Amino acid sequence: MKLKNNMLFISVITIYIIVTALRLIYHQPWYDEALAWNIAQQLNLLEIIHLMRVEGHTFIWYLLLMPFAKADLWYPWPMLIINYIFALASVIYMWKKAPFNNFTKIVVTFSFPFFILFPLVARCYAIGVLLLFFLAGLYRDKLKHPITYSVLISLCANTSVMSVIGASAFGFLFALDMIKEALKDNVSKRDFIVSFSVMALGACLILWQLGGSNAEIQGNGTDFIKNLSEYYIGTNVLSNILAITGSILSAILLPVCLFKNKKALFFFLYTIGVMLFIFTQIYSGFTHHFVFFFVYALISYWIYADENPQNTLLKRAAEIAVTLVFLSHIFTFPDTAYVYIHSGSKYFADYILKDNNLKNGRIILYYPLDKRVLPYLRKDKVDVWFYCQGQKATYNSALHDAVLCSPKGPKYYVPAWIERSLSKDKTNYSVLKITDETPLEGFILEDNRRRIVFELYKDMNKTYGIFKTTEYEK
C-alpha cells in the first residue's frame, strides 16, 4: 500500500512539474507582479515597510526580490522561480503531511489555485500558503517546538494580508495553549518568553506596515458580491453546480464536523469571518483573494482531521464537501488559464525595443496596467512618462496604483498634464487602449491655445494603439 501511494505521489508531482514548468516558461508578468519588482528595485527596506499600508500586503516578498531587483538581474526569472519553488513545495508538503485521502489531494493539486494561480503568478501568495501549510502540519506538535512555531507564525503574517488572517488565528490558538501549559509547568520559561517575544515582534511589524487607514483601497459589499458572483458563475454549468453545491455543503457540514474540535471550529469561523469583513467593509477583493476562502476551509479540516483520526461518516462528508469546491476549480479555469500566462508585457516591451523610433522617442503611458512593461525597458533607458502626473515613469509611492487618466476626445483635455508629459525634443508616442473614445484612425485634443494630434503609429491587435503624438500651437 505504501509503495502504491509513493508511485501515485511521484506520478502526480511529475505531471504537476512538467505542466506548470512549461506554463512558467511562457508566463509574462502582469502589472501587480511587475509592480513588486519595481518596488524592490527602487525603494530601500524602510521605504518598503512604510509603503505596505498602500500596497495592502507585507514586506517579506519584496525583501526576497531585492537582491535580484537591485542588481537588475534576469528579470523576471528570479521572481518567477522563487515563487514557483514555494508553490511546488506547498503541494509536496500537502501530499506528505495532510490527512486527506488521495482523491482530495489530487483534486487540490490540479485545481486552479494550486495548478495555475500560485505557481504562475509571482506574487506574495504562494509563500504564505506554504507557511500556512507548515503551521497546519506542525499544529499538533507545536508545543514540542514552540520557538520554531512562533517564528513560522511571524514569517507567515508578514507575507500578505490574506496570510495575516490565518497566521493570527494560529497565533491565538498557540498562545492559548502556551499559557495553559506554562501554568502547568509543561513549558520552559525560556521557550515561553522567546516564543511570545517573537510573535510580539511579528505583530509590531504588522501594525507598523498596515496601521492607519487607506482610502484608496476602500470597497463595499455590493462590489464584493459582484466580484464573487463573477468568480463563481462562469460558462461551465458543471463547474457552477460543483462550486455552489460544495460551498453550501461546506458551510453546513464543516462547522458541524468541527464542533467536536473547538479550536478547528474557531480557526474556520475566524478566518472566514475576517475575510468577509475585509471584503464587505474595506476591499472588495478579486479571484486571487477569494481562493483563500477554500484554502482556509481546507486547513480547518486539516487541523480537525489531524487530531481526530477516526473515520466517521460526518468527517468523510465534510471532506467531500471541501473537495467539491476544489473540483469545480478544475473545470472553471481551462479557458482563462491562458490569461494568467500571457500578459503580453514582454511582447509589448520587445516591440518598443526593436523599433528605433519608439526606443529613441518618448513613450507616454495612460493606464496603470501599462506599468507592467517598465522592468523590461529600464535597462535600455527608454524614456517613459506617465501622462496625467506629468512625471518620468520611475517608481513613486505617491503614484502607487494611481489611475492614470486617458484622453477621451476633444472635451477631455487637461493642458497642464500634456505640457509636462510631452517632450519638446523627442518624438512622442502615446500607448492607449483601443475604445470607442480612442479610435484607431486617431483623434485630436485641443483648447484655445494648442492642438494635440494623435496619429496611429501601430495597431497592437486592436487592443492597444501606439499613437504618434504631436503638439501644435494655435
Nearest to 336 by CA among 120, 34, 142, 151: 120
Instruction: Compute the mean pLDDT over every residue in the chain, rounded to the nearest whole number.
Output: 86
Provide the pLDDT confidence category of residue 333 given band limits of 50, 70 and 90.
low
pLDDT of 376 > 70? The answer is: yes
Per-residue model confidence (pLDDT) at position 336? 53
Provide the pLDDT confidence category of residue 462 given band limits of 50, 70 and 90.
confident
pLDDT of 289 > 50? The answer is: yes
For the chain, give percent helix, strand, coil, nearest 5: 65, 10, 25
User: HSE on the CB side for 285, CA within 13 Å?
Assistant: 27
**Alpha carbon distance 197, 192 (integer Å):** 8
Per-residue model confidence (pLDDT) at position 405? 56
**Alpha carbon distance 349, 362 (integer Å):** 14
Sign of CA dihedral 15, 21, 26, 31: positive
Per-residue model confidence (pLDDT) at position 404? 47
- Residue labelled with grid coordinates 468523510: 316
Helix (H) or strand (E) holding 350: helix 345-353
- For Cα atoms 211, 31, 341, give the angle at the middle one, nearest 5 degrees: 125
Contacts of 103 (CB under 8 A, 6+ apart): 323
Q: Are 70 and 40 in contact (CB under 8 A)?
A: yes
User: Bigger pLDDT: 36 or 438?
Assistant: 36
Mean pLDDT of 435-445: 76
pLDDT of 298 > 80? The answer is: yes
Mean pLDDT of 256-269: 94
Provide the pLDDT confidence category of residue 412 given band limits of 50, 70 and 90.
very low
Single pTM value for the model: 0.89
Q: What is the pLDDT of residues 73-104, one digit of tens each?
A: 999 999 999 999 999 999 999 999 999 999 99
**Alpha carbon distance 454, 136 (integer Å):** 57
Name 472's bridge partners: 451
Do the bridges between strand 428-433 and strand 362-365 make them parallel or antiparallel, or are there none, so unpaired? parallel
Mean pLDDT of 10-25: 94
Per-residue model confidence (pLDDT) at position 263? 94
Cis peptide before 67 (omega within 30 of 0): no
Q: Are 423 and 356 in contact (CB under 8 A)?
A: no
Contacts of 68 (CB under 8 A, 6+ apart): 74, 75, 78, 79
Give the three cell numbers for residue 466. Answer: 501606439
